[in-house]
Chains A and B, each alone.
Chain A
């Protein structure tokens, strides 16, 4: 098992946001997390990532067999967890390029290596862009592509994507999806896939390009329903989240 979450309860600023979360993701699997605003999707992401304000009250997070519940974010990332944020903060004076060098373990003094230069070009970033301060004045699409580029520099084993397609025009969704598939080993045969992913999406549009193995609906801090992504998405489209969950209860 790549990631295993057991009986997790999380508090943020004194408020209980997640409870009784159980979730297991195997190597090679990509799961989708659906749910209304405020259900706790981002909280789950940031708890897996280990941000300090997300206090685990109960349960554990096991990554590649190791309990990482009490590790710092840095340590978790070093073990192979990566994330693309929906609205990352801008940092003045820190260029995309320098961050990429750090993430891919290159010497800051040396020019960016060929692999990263090629990937940047694939994601339609020119040299001028690479010298810009990270996220400062980026358009919605630029933010998403820059987040994916950074993940490509890191090459994590387990990747979480928070709304990777929101604010991205249709033409670029396919481009992004291509890189997502690379990150998730989708081009390899199922048995050879080592990586795992968890995706938050509102519209599910990205799922037309990135195959997901399982979907979960998070409501009021609990996983209310899990199953085949296509079926669940169709139910949500027809019945809304509530309807879909009701339906799951009767079955």
Chain B
């Protein structure tokens, strides 16, 4: 296990280490902000009407309808956190570290501080500068809270570098649902977001994590996510991005170490303007009977570039993995680059992938025009249909809510 000293040492060494993939960002161009720059708010409804609207677009409901708790981070400041559920603990990371001595054992275990300069800088801010931002969520053993916790990373000031370190723990046989929305204020053009998230699923636990991004056009985004799965646990990740961004690069990794553990990654990406979107999902199948599925739908418009990656590694026998990547290229100046990788290093396992990238089939457009739709309406219906996928594994209420979030995102396209 990494202790604090080692974290600092490793991070120090890696603070200028470029990420393995994605465009390199000059971190020094962005401003660090103090963790108390924004004042605490008493209720999530206290944010401005304008901000409420921005939050709603990424699934964060300021009325907290059908939510079991809310967390809000503005730039570097944790301004709000409250849970109404007896089953789920929610607080900022700093409070959690003060409250429970064991929380530190979960820091930097499934995301390494020296992975690249983004993780390193986040670790250094946390350990050396004592800027601990981000949330801590824990579902108690044997509980099942059907309403989701909502968390939001909001960038309010121009040119900030926002870092967050989130720890999510689902204790044994518990079920936890999270919706997380990331957005920027209207007057923000440029910023850098680095979010480190570490998930721990104890035996028999289940987490669904649904993330909607809606950044400003010049925002650079570098989330770093690791998921540790113990026996018989299930992790479901849904990711939705349909608005422009300068660049995003992320490659969440699930470590399916427990027997019969299961990870599912579903993502919907629509590239707008000159966005560079490099999103992948990785699962390392190391537990007997473990399984993973990676499903992505990508649409490229304008001059956007989408790298749709997936990597499944079967490391022991009797594991199963499936990778599915479908892309629609809607503009000649845009690009989709599908990179599906399968790696099998044991006999007797089952791994498959399916990738298809192309343009809209004209026959489909003609068919819809013969039903009275205009060509534009037909194209939009086909694209929306292509991007809408059955989100599996969510309770009914949340599935409807997620579908609504997807629809809302697509409406804004």
- B65 cross-chain contacts in A, Cβ below 8 A: none
Q: Does A99 contact B (CB under 8 A)?
A: yes
Q: Does A243 contact B (CB under 8 A)?
A: no
- Minimum CB–CB distance for B187 against chain A, Å: 33
Say which one of B169-177, B305-313, B373-381 lies at the interface with A. Answer: B373-381
State whether A91 and B382 are in contact (beta carbons under 8 Å apart), knowing that A74-B374, A74-B375 are contacts in the complex.
yes
Q: Are A94 and B369 in contact (CB under 8 A)?
A: no
**Which of A49, A73, A78 gathers the greatest number of chain B CB atoms within 10 Å?**
A73
Q: Are B385 and A77 in contact (CB under 8 A)?
A: no
Q: Does A205 contact B (CB under 8 A)?
A: no
- Give 1 or 0 for each of B368-403: 1 = CB within 8 Å of chain A CB: 111111110000011011111100000000000000
In the bound complex, what is the Cα–Cα distance between A133 and B386 (angstroms)? 11
Within 8 A of B (CB), among A144-158: 150, 154
Residues of A within 8 Å of B, CB-based: how many?
Answer: 23
Within 8 A of A (CB), among B330-389: 361, 363-364, 366-375, 381-382, 384-389
B370 partner, pick from A73, A92, A93, A102, beta carbons under 8 A: A73
- Give 1 or 0 for each of B77-92: 1 = CB within 8 Å of chain A CB: 0000000000000000
Say which one of A81-89, A163-171, A189-197, A228-236 lies at the interface with B. Answer: A81-89
Q: Does A51 contact B (CB under 8 A)?
A: yes
In the bound complex, what is the Cα–Cα distance between A85 and B372 (angstroms)? 14
Q: Are B375 and A91 in contact (CB under 8 A)?
A: no
Q: Does A24 contact B (CB under 8 A)?
A: no
A77 partner, pick from B372, B387, B388, beta carbons under 8 A: B372
In the bound complex, what is the Cα–Cα distance between A52 and B375 (angstroms)? 11
- Minimum CB–CB distance for B266 against chain A, Å: 14
Q: Are A154 and B371 in contact (CB under 8 A)?
A: yes
Q: Are A93 and B369 in contact (CB under 8 A)?
A: no
Q: Are A77 and B370 in contact (CB under 8 A)?
A: yes
- B374 cross-chain contacts in A, Cβ below 8 A: 72, 74
In the bound complex, what is the Cα–Cα distance between A94 and B373 (angstroms)? 13
- A89 cross-chain contacts in B, Cβ below 8 A: 361, 363-364, 367
- B384 cross-chain contacts in A, Cβ below 8 A: 93
Q: Are B386 and A73 in contact (CB under 8 A)?
A: no
Q: Who on chain B is nearest to A52 by CB? A: B366
Q: Are A93 and B368 in contact (CB under 8 A)?
A: no
Q: Who on chain B is nearest to A109 by CB? A: B407
- B389 cross-chain contacts in A, Cβ below 8 A: 93
- A72 cross-chain contacts in B, Cβ below 8 A: 369, 374-375
In the bound complex, what is the Cα–Cα distance between A38 and B363 (angstroms)? 20
Q: Does A103 contact B (CB under 8 A)?
A: yes
- B385 cross-chain contacts in A, Cβ below 8 A: 91-94, 133
State whether A91 and B367 are in contact (beta carbons under 8 Å apart), knowing that A74-B375, A133-B385 are contacts in the complex.
yes
- Minimum CB–CB distance for B105 against chain A, Å: 44
Q: Who on chain A is nearest to B381 by CB? A: A94
Q: Who on chain B is nearest to A105 by CB? A: B372
- B366 cross-chain contacts in A, Cβ below 8 A: 51-52, 73
- A133 cross-chain contacts in B, Cβ below 8 A: 385
- A49 cross-chain contacts in B, Cβ below 8 A: 370
A91 partner, pick from B364, B369, B370, B372, beta carbons under 8 A: B364
- Minimum CB–CB distance for A50 against chain B, Å: 9
Q: Are A103 and B371 in contact (CB under 8 A)?
A: yes
- A103 cross-chain contacts in B, Cβ below 8 A: 371-372
In the bound complex, what is the Cα–Cα distance between A154 and B369 (angstroms)? 13
Q: Are A93 and B387 in contact (CB under 8 A)?
A: yes
Q: Are B371 and A102 in contact (CB under 8 A)?
A: yes
Q: Are B370 and A83 in contact (CB under 8 A)?
A: yes
In the bound complex, what is the Cα–Cα distance between A49 and B366 (angstroms)? 10
- Minimum CB–CB distance for A145 against chain B, Å: 16
In the bound complex, what is the Cα–Cα distance between A69 and B313 (angstroms)? 58
In the bound complex, what is the Cα–Cα distance between A55 and B295 (angstroms)? 41
Q: Are B382 and A73 in contact (CB under 8 A)?
A: no
**Which of B361, B367, B368, B371 gathers the greatest number of chain A CB atoms within 10 Å?**
B371
Q: Are A74 and B381 in contact (CB under 8 A)?
A: no
In the bound complex, what is the Cα–Cα distance between A99 and B366 (angstroms)? 14
In the bound complex, what is the Cα–Cα distance between A74 and B382 (angstroms)? 16
Q: Are B387 and A91 in contact (CB under 8 A)?
A: no
- Minimum CB–CB distance for B154 against chain A, Å: 29
Q: Are B370 and A94 in contact (CB under 8 A)?
A: no
- B361 cross-chain contacts in A, Cβ below 8 A: 89
- A52 cross-chain contacts in B, Cβ below 8 A: 366
- B364 cross-chain contacts in A, Cβ below 8 A: 89, 91
- A154 cross-chain contacts in B, Cβ below 8 A: 371-372
- A88 cross-chain contacts in B, Cβ below 8 A: 367
**Which of B364, B367, B387 gathers the greatest number of chain A CB atoms within 10 Å?**
B367
Contacts A78-B372, A88-B367, A150-B371 supplied; 13 other A-B pairs, CB < 8 Å = A49-B370, A51-B366, A51-B370, A72-B375, A77-B369, A83-B370, A85-B367, A91-B364, A91-B367, A93-B385, A94-B368, A102-B371, A154-B371
* 17 interchain pairs, CB-CB under 8 A: A51-B370, A72-B369, A72-B374, A74-B369, A74-B372, A77-B369, A89-B361, A89-B363, A89-B367, A91-B364, A93-B385, A93-B388, A94-B382, A102-B371, A103-B371, A150-B371, A154-B372
A residues with a Cβ closer than 8 A to B are 49, 51-52, 72-74, 77-78, 82-83, 85, 88-89, 91-94, 99, 102-103, 133, 150, 154
